[in-house]
Chains A and B, each alone.
Chain A
Amino acid sequence: MKYGFSKEDEDFAQEVRDFVRENLPSDIKKKVQDGLRLDRPDYVRWYSKLYERGWATPGWPKEYGGPGFTPMQKLIFDEELQLQSAPRIIASGINMLAPVLMAFGTPEQKAEYLPKIARSEQWWGQGFSEPGSGSDLASMKTKCEDKGDHYLVNGHKIWTSYAHFCEMMFALVRTKEGKPQESISFILIDLKAEGVTVRPIKMLEGGEDLNEVFLDNVKVPKANLVGEINKGWDYAKYLLGFERTGIAGIAPSKFQIMRLKEIAAKQTRRGKPLIEDPVFVDRIARLEIDLLALEHTALRMMTERPGAPPGPETSLLKVRGTEIRQAVFEMLMEAGGIDCVPFEEAALNLGEAHYEAQPEYTNSLAANYLDSRKITIYGGANEVQRNIVAKAVLKL
């Protein structure tokens, strides 16, 4: 039991801090800070800087060009980036597809895709969910028929993030009838292929980062099957295990609480700055205390059993982390008061707000709050996560 970080880890944290401060473009920083829209060129601009430093693929093993971070270093790296409002590495190619290719792909697939993924030249969408298959992913229906020299895919995927600017999509498809563990395969689909239609979905806060992908007799080369046929469900479970800890959003919540205090200092209630209202301060403190315990829990789950992989109780990090994050966005919107009511979609793009009576920092508060409602739904809905913990941890 030891409090605090080692000198090496503290030095590393400073190194990351310095790098971000010196290399993160200020317009991108402002967009992330203020909850404004980012597009592909923004992400590429930042990821290229990381790539030059060898940090664009922080979770990759050294043999594939990753920096070989220890779990603690990876945690520190992610946290320091987020505390300074660097965009998260959202790329599904880097975080989700790459581990699967490394574990189950052919040498040709690795050589073809991993370098392009690392350089952010090739963007990948995740084709898992379908209109009829969200939490119940195993019920998915997109069909993949063996036509001898190619596969033929028909179906409909939904909630594919950033598909509108992705080149490729990795997808789960049904190659046989039967139980999911025996009938689903993992394939790679070119989003520019004939028969593919990508349609953005307008979300309630105005964004269009999520898409439907219609697959109408799409021909997929045999070489695009990853691993063994009908074993895709195992690969998907493997991949989804990588999503878990980052999704708790501890560092972003820390940052947003700092922002909440700054905004509360600028807003007045009953003649005084909101930050001087003891009731509001009490509510912030409750969130900070909860977040501190969550942060310590992430560290405890990482260190208390050296060498052991994360257990099913890590699902609770996602459940509580997303609930805290939502509470913070709720308080941010509350702090914005009536200034949150004027709403123009253009205001979510940096520099395009033109309603002057509204302080700049309030442009995005309502939109960010609305957008935050998804985090308890995606990445494994919190109710499903609770089911997992009930079964695997409490044995109920």
Chain B
Amino acid sequence: MDFSLSEDQAMFKDTVGRILDKEYQSLVPNDAARHSADAIARRWGILAENGVLGLPFVADASGMEQGAVGSMLALEEIGRNLASEPYLASVVLAGTLLQSAGETAYPLVAEIAEGAKRASLAIEEDGMDHDFTNIATSAKKDGDLYVLNGKKRLVLDGDNADILVVVARTSGKKGDVDGLSTFVIDANADGITKNSYGVLDGNRAADFDFNNAKATLVGEEGKAAPRLEQVYDAANAAIAAEMTGLVGALIDITCEYIKVRQQFGVPLAKFQVLTHRLVDARTEWELLKSAAGAAAMGFDDLDGKERRVLCSAAKVQAIRAGRFAHQQAIQLHGGIGMTEECHVGWYAKRIILLSQIFGDESHHIYQFTQARAA
């Protein structure tokens, strides 16, 4: 087991870090420059130029062949800067599911990698409850295309997507593993109604209604289930990676704060209870960093249950570390930690958003147990 970075990996991590440090260092958490569509598009172009958007993909899809480890390197820097780049939403979620469809999807993946198109994954539905076999959006073959009907919710970065990658049922009934398929459709196509809204971290997401909207099949019809399990693992490994950056930044910010803030005539850092609290946060961070690394490596090298064990374990660790870090960061900042303008609150909001999507703690403990026992 080797956690050292190759020269290329170290270089990519450094590149992303430098680009984002430069962009974000002067921005306050609620600065329009973080979240505005124009600003995100501009930064997206810079990341594309530097190969960052292509990190996890194969060379034939304009990728850098770095797999989930590559994504992890970018995501940790994104988390550290509380960056609004929709890397998780677009590169990891949509990109992974498209690439797994096979060579016919590579041109589309390449467009994502090159920054030419923004894609979002439309998978979540009311009542899905982390079980894809509950997906009710239907897809009916009509010539070369498929007619989609149904409602998708919480499409991350859906507001800015050029393309939607949609998961729908082409055959079978609710509860069947067989019969799920994946599609691409232009986000502005006929029959699509979009309802966008703000989410916890200041970014935006969207719900989409499909009303006889015509989409193109990617991947084999009816056989998407294993690819959905895979993208689920990718999501959780990616969340663990971004969380590593978020938690690390919160610890750094809070350490700096308690060195400077004085009460009772001394810096807060003189009080052992507080320094020990930060040491405990650091412990959670060390464990999370390792779990995220193991999950990324496992995603690239393992399959099925073995991969699930690592990715679900990493998500649990991410939720634990994220919870402890944001709660204690607010606590140790005292009253100002509760204000809207304080950085820690914004990190907290991104942390809790990531903790709520793609399965909570008890869901992943269950997944871990099932996968381990198998």
A residues at B contact (CB < 8 Å): 1-5, 281-282, 285-286, 288-290, 292-294, 296-297, 299-300, 303-306, 313, 316, 319-320, 383, 386-387, 389-390, 393-396
Interface size on B, residues (CB 8 A): 44
| Stretch from B54-62, B88-96, B168-176, B296-304 contacting the other chain | B296-304
Contact call A393/B313, Cβ cutoff below 8 A: no
Closest residue of chain A to B70 (Cβ to Cβ) is A1
Contact call A1/B286, Cβ cutoff below 8 A: no
- Choose one: A1, A3, A393, A394; the contact of B5 (CB below 8 Å): A1
Contact call B3/A303, Cβ cutoff below 8 A: yes
Contact call A3/B283, Cβ cutoff below 8 A: no
Task: Report A370 CB to chain B, min CB distance, Å.
Answer: 25
Nearest 9 pairs of A and B residues by beta carbon: A296-B290, A3-B297, A293-B287, A300-B3, A297-B290, A390-B275, A2-B2, A304-B3, A3-B301
Contact call A296/B275, Cβ cutoff below 8 A: no
Closest residue of chain A to B281 (Cβ to Cβ) is A394
- 13 CB contacts below 8 A, A to B, read A1-B69, A3-B298, A282-B365, A285-B369, A286-B316, A297-B286, A303-B4, A304-B5, A387-B272, A387-B275, A390-B275, A390-B276, A393-B282
For A285, list chain B residues within 8 Å (CB).
365-366, 368-369, 372
Dominant SS among interface residues on chain A: helix
Contact call B259/A396, Cβ cutoff below 8 A: yes
Task: Report A200 CB to chain B, min CB distance, Å.
Answer: 34
For B6, list chain A residues within 8 Å (CB).
1
B1 within 8 A of A: yes
- Bound-state CA distance A224–B158 (Å) is 76
Contact call A300/B365, Cβ cutoff below 8 A: no
- Bound-state CA distance A275–B126 (Å) is 34
Contact call B293/A296, Cβ cutoff below 8 A: yes
Most buried by B among A2, A5, A281, A292: A292
Contact call A289/B368, Cβ cutoff below 8 A: yes
B317 within 8 A of A: yes
Contact call B313/A293, Cβ cutoff below 8 A: yes
Closest residue of chain B to A292 (Cβ to Cβ) is B313
For A299, list chain B residues within 8 Å (CB).
1, 3, 290
Task: Report A260 CB to chain B, min CB distance, Å.
Answer: 14
Contact call A313/B286, Cβ cutoff below 8 A: yes
For A289, list chain B residues within 8 Å (CB).
313, 316-317, 365, 368
For B365, list chain A residues within 8 Å (CB).
282, 285-286, 289
For B255, list chain A residues within 8 Å (CB).
394-396
Task: Report B53 CB to chain A, min CB distance, Å.
Answer: 20
For B69, list chain A residues within 8 Å (CB).
1
- Bound-state CA distance A174–B287 (Å) is 40
- Bound-state CA distance A2–B5 (Å) is 9
Contact call A293/B2, Cβ cutoff below 8 A: no
